[in-house]
Amino acid sequence: MGLGKSIPEITQSLAEETQLAGARVVVSARTYADFTPQATFDIKATLTREEGLQYYRTMQTVRRMELKADQLYKQKIIRGFCHLYDGQEACAVGIESGINLSDHLITAYRAHGYTMTRGGTVREIMAELTGVALACKYQGKNELCVCLYGDGAANQGQIFETYNMASLWKLPCIFICENNKYGMGTSVERAAASTDYYKRGDFIPGLRVDGMDVLCVREATKFAADHCRSGKGPILMELQTYRYHGHSMSDPGISYRTREEIQEVRSKSDPISMLKDRMLSNNMASVEELKFATTDPEPPLDDLCNHIFYNEPPLEVRGTNPWSKLKSVS
C-alpha cells in the first residue's frame, strides 16, 4: 500500500495497527480438526480458516455468477447493458470484510459483486454521493459511507466537488477508486495526466492498495474505517485491480489490449487463486473442500420477481406475455 503525501504520519500508524499475532502451524493427518485455524501472512494480516473459506466461497460465487451471465448474455437471455465484475472479486469481498453491514455503500454501475456481498438486498434510498455520509454524521450512529467509482470516472469534475464538501464537513466517507487499468477502452495512461489516483484528494489522505489481494483490501479498509469513525473526515483508497471481460458485454475487450496481457494477469495475480494457494500452503483447507459445486439446482421460476419493492404487500407481475402472471413477494 502506498500513501498520499497529505498525511505521512499514517504510514507508521498503519504499520502499528496491523501488527497481529503469529500463526500456529499444524503438521499431521488431514482431518478437519487438524487444519490450521489461523495464519499470519507477510502483509501483516491474520486470516482464520473460517474467514478464508467464507471469502473463497463468496469470490467463487461472484466469479461463477459473472461467467454464467456472460454465457446467458451471448445466448440473448440477458439483454441490455451488462458490466461484469470477474477479476475484481477481491475488491468487493475485502471491502465488505473491513466494514460493517450497517455501514453504507454506493457502487458504480459494475455492481454485481457488491450486490452479493451486501446480502443481495437493494438500497432503500438512492442518495447523492455525499448524502448518506452527511446523514451518518448528522445522526451520530458511528456509521460510514463507502463511495465507489472507476478510473474512468476519476477524471470527472463532480468527484472533486464531492472531495471538497466531504473534507470541509469532515464526513465519514471512504472514497474508493477501483482502478482496473481501462476506462471503457482507454488505458489509464492515455486518459489521465496523473495515474496516482490515491493522491487525487489533495487535502484528503490516500492509500494505494493491491486490489487483487483480498487480505490487503480488508486490512486497508479496516484502517480507513477507523480513520473515518474517529472523526478525522474522509479518506481515499485506490484499489489496483483488473477486469477479465471487456467494459460491457458489447465490448470484446481485446481491441485495446492483448489476450496475452489478460492471461498473464490470470496466471500471476488472480484473486481467487491467490487466496486458494495461501489456504492450501498454510494447511487451512483441503483441495476437496475448495472445489466449487456446479450441480446446484436452478432457483424456481416463482422466485424470479421477488423483492421488486421493499416491504410491500405481494403484487402481481406480468411475465414474458400478457397471459403469463408471476407474483412478487418482498
Pair 256, 185: CB distance under 8 Å: yes
Q: How far apart are CA 18 and CA 2, in angstroms?
A: 15
Question: What is the reported pLDDT for 14?
Answer: 38
Cell of 197: 489516483
Classify residue 199: in a domain, yes or no: yes
Question: What is the reported pLDDT for 31?
Answer: 52
Q: Which residues contact 293 (CB under 8 A, 6 or more apart)?
A: none
Tell me the average pLDDT across 295-307. Answer: 74
Stretch among 77-81, 153-157, 204-208 having the lowest mean pLDDT: 77-81
For 11, 133, 231, the CA distances from 170, given in Å and listed in that order, are 21, 10, 7
Cell of 172: 465519514
The 8 Å CB, 24+ separation contacts for 68-71 are 69/112, 70/245, 70/249
Under the banding of pLDDT at 50, 70 and 90, the label for residue 24 is: very low
Q: Is 106 helix (H, G, I), strand (E, B) or coil?
A: strand
Q: pLDDT tens-digit profile of 234-285? A: 999 999 999 998 887 778 888 999 999 999 999 999 999 999 999 999 999 9
> Is the pLDDT higher at 42 or at 222?
222
Alpha-carbon 272 to chain mean position: 13
> Is the pLDDT higher at 180 or at 131?
180
Question: What is the reported pLDDT for 295?
Answer: 61
Question: What is the reported pLDDT for 215?
Answer: 93
What are phi and psi for residue 57, nearest 5 degrees? -65, -40
Classify residue 73: in a domain, yes or no: yes
Rg of the chain on CA atoms, in Å: 21
Under the banding of pLDDT at 50, 70 and 90, the label for residue 33 is: low
Question: What is the reported pLDDT for 227?
Answer: 96
The CATH number assigned to the domain holding 134 equals 3.40.50.970
Domain that holds residue 190: 24-285
Tell me the average pLDDT across 128-143. Answer: 72
> Is the pLDDT higher at 210 or at 99?
210
Question: What is the reported pLDDT for 6?
Answer: 37
Classify residue 7: in a domain, yes or no: no
Question: What is the reported pLDDT for 318?
Answer: 83
> Is the pLDDT higher at 27 or at 196?
196
Question: What is the reported pLDDT for 237?
Answer: 95
Classify residue 322: in a domain, yes or no: no
Number of domains in the chain: 1
Tell me the average pLDDT across 149-176. Answer: 91
Question: What is the reported pLDDT for 116?
Answer: 66
Pair 116, 62: CB distance under 8 Å: yes
Classify residue 109: in a domain, yes or no: yes
Question: What is the reported pLDDT for 84?
Answer: 82
Instruction: Select from 98, 162, 100, 101 the least CA-distant residue to 131.
Output: 162
Stretch among 111-120, 212-221, 241-250, 282-291 having the lowest mean pLDDT: 111-120
Amino acid at 300: P
**pLDDT at 82 exceeding the cut of 90:** no
Question: What is the reported pLDDT for 78?
Answer: 65
Q: Is 76 helix (H, G, I), strand (E, B) or coil?
A: coil
Q: pLDDT tens-digit profile of 274-287? A: 999 999 999 999 98
Stretch among 24-28, 88-92, 135-139, 281-285 having the lowest mean pLDDT: 24-28
Instruction: Select from 239, 207, 291, 235 the least CA-distant residue to 89.
Output: 239
Question: What is the reported pLDDT for 16?
Answer: 41
Classify residue 212: in a domain, yes or no: yes
Question: What is the reported pLDDT for 240?
Answer: 94
Mean pLDDT of the chain: 79
* Helix and strand counts by DSSP (H, E) for the chain: 10, 12
**pLDDT at 100 exceeding the cut of 80:** yes
Under the banding of pLDDT at 50, 70 and 90, the label for residue 64 is: confident
Stretch among 40-54, 108-122, 141-155, 172-186 having the lowest mean pLDDT: 108-122
Q: Which residue has the cell 505521512?
A: 8
Under the banding of pLDDT at 50, 70 and 90, the label for residue 3 is: very low
